Structure 1
C-alpha cells in the first residue's frame, strides 16, 4: 500500500495539530509538513510536492481560495481538500469550480475526515494502476470520475451557535482527555460559563462530546465534558 504525503495549511497551530493527528490515524497517510501562512505554504509545497493538501480558507495574509488556484496552476498532480469553517455558498461554489477533492466543514468529525482519505486513496490507487498500454472502457472511466460527485453534508447550526466559537471550544476539548467544566472552557475561550455550557451541550447532542458527572471539593455535582472521538 502506498503512503500518501499530506501537507496541512492552517493558521491555528492547535487545529493543524488536530488535523495532523487525524491524518496519521488513517493507514497509508503521513504528514510531510505544516504551514501557518502563505509564504510558508508556497515555499514548502514547491519543495515537498505532497500528494494532498489540507487547506483552510481564512488566513490573516491570504484567502485559501487564492492558494488553491495557485496550486492548481503550478502543480497538476496535487489534490486539495478544504477543511474550513466557511459555509458561504459562493465559497463552496468557487472551491468546487477550482477542482477540490472534497470540502469538510469545521468542527471536523473524524469519521467524515477518514472517509474522505479512504476515498482519496481508492481514487489515486486506481489511477496509478492504469498502464500506458491498457485500453480503458466506460466502466473504468465512470469509476475514476465517481470522486467528482462530492456529497456536501448540510450544515445547519441552531440559533446562538457560531461555527468559529464552536471550532475553538472543540479544539480545546480535544487537548485534555480528562475533560473540562463549562467554567474552564469559558475562561479558556473568553465566553461566559452559560455560553460555554450551551456549546458543550450542543456538542453532546451531536455526539461529538460526552458529559460525566463528578463531585467537587464541596460535594457539589458538576458536569465534566470530554471529547468523544
Structure 2
C-alpha cells in the first residue's frame, strides 16, 4: 500500500504526540516530520517530500491565513488539513477558500480525524494515480462526493455491515473509476480481502456495483467490481 507522507505542524507537544498516535492507527499514512513554528514548517516543506500537512493555523510565526496563502503559492502540490479552533469564522472561511482540504475544529474526536484522512487519501489517489483522460462526470464524482451521502433508509445495509464502510467502498470505486478486485479494494482501504468482498457483493446485490471477469491463462478468472448497476447507472 502506498503510504502518504504527513507533516504535523502544531506547537502544543501533547497534541503533536496525539496526532502522531492517530496517524499510526491509520493505514496508508506515514508521519514524516513534526514542527512547532512557522519558520520550521517552511523549512521542512522545502527539504522533505510531503503530501499532506496537518496544520494549526495559529502556529507561532506562521501568520495564520497569510502563512497558508504563502505556503499554497510556494508549494501548490502539497495539501493542508487545518486543525485549529473555530472561534474565527473568517479564519475558517479563509482556510477553505485558500484550498485547505478540510478544517477540524479543536477539540475533535479520532473518528472525525479518521474521516478527514481517509477522504483525503481517496481524493489524492483518485487524482494522482489516474492515467486515463478524464470525463466530466468522473471528475465531478471525485470532487463533488468526497463525503459520500448516507444511504437512503430503504438501502441501509443489513446487520453485520457498517454503513460507513459501505460508503468508503463506494467512494473508492467512484474515485478510481475502473474495475477493481476485492484484494485491491481491501489493500486501498486497509481491510481484509474477505471483508472487501462481502461489501462489494452487497453493493452488487443492491445493483450499485457491476461485476466483470478478467480471464487468465492459468487459474480461475479474477472477479472485478465497478461502480454502476447492471443497467449502467450509478
Q: Please confirm whether the aligned pair reaches a TM-score higher than 0.5, indicating the same fold.
A: yes
Q: Gaps spanning 5+ residues in structure 1: where?
A: 152-229
**Contact 2:57 2:84 (C-alpha < 8 Å) held by counterparts:** yes
Give distance in 1, aligned partners of 2:146 and 2:27. 23
Q: What secondary structure is seen at the aligned counterpart in 1 of 2:6?
A: strand
Q: What is the match of residue 19 of structure 2?
A: 19
CA deviations on 1:93-134 (whole Å, 9 max, x unpaired) are 111110000000011200000011111111111112321xx2
The alpha-carbon deviation at position 149 of structure 1 amounts to 7.3
What is the RMSD of the two structures over their aligned residues, measured on CA atoms?
A: 2.0
Q: What is the match of residue 90 of structure 2?
A: 90
Q: What is the match of residue 206 of structure 1?
A: none
Give distance in 1, aligned partners of 2:148 and 2:82. 12
CA deviations on 1:30-62 (whole Å, 9 max, x unpaired) are 110011011111111111131000001223333
Give distance in 2, aligned partners of 1:74 and 1:28. 26
Q: What is the match of residue 139 of structure 2?
A: 141
**Contact 1:119 1:147 (C-alpha < 8 Å) held by counterparts:** no
**Contact 1:57 1:64 (C-alpha < 8 Å) held by counterparts:** yes
Q: What secondary structure is seen at the aligned counterpart in 1 of 2:26?
A: coil
- Residues 27 and 92 (structure 1 numbering): CA distance in 2 closer, same or farther, change over 3 Å? same
Q: What secondary structure is seen at the aligned counterpart in 2 of 1:69?
A: helix
**Contact 2:4 2:52 (C-alpha < 8 Å) held by counterparts:** yes
**Contact 1:6 1:53 (C-alpha < 8 Å) held by counterparts:** yes
Q: What secondary structure is seen at the aligned counterpart in 1 of 2:8?
A: strand
**Contact 1:102 1:150 (C-alpha < 8 Å) held by counterparts:** no
Give distance in 2, aligned partners of 1:117 and 1:149. 12
- Residues 49 and 120 (structure 1 numbering): CA distance in 2 closer, same or farther, change over 3 Å? same
Q: What secondary structure is seen at the aligned counterpart in 2 of 1:103?
A: strand
**Contact 1:55 1:64 (C-alpha < 8 Å) held by counterparts:** no
- Residues 147 and 17 (structure 1 numbering): CA distance in 2 closer, same or farther, change over 3 Å? farther
CA deviations on 1:3-40 (whole Å, 9 max, x unpaired) are 00000111111111111111121101111001101111
**Contact 1:52 1:78 (C-alpha < 8 Å) held by counterparts:** yes
Instruction: Please give the TM-score of this superposition, normalised by the length of structure 2.
Output: 0.59
Q: What secondary structure is seen at the aligned counterpart in 2 of 1:95?
A: helix
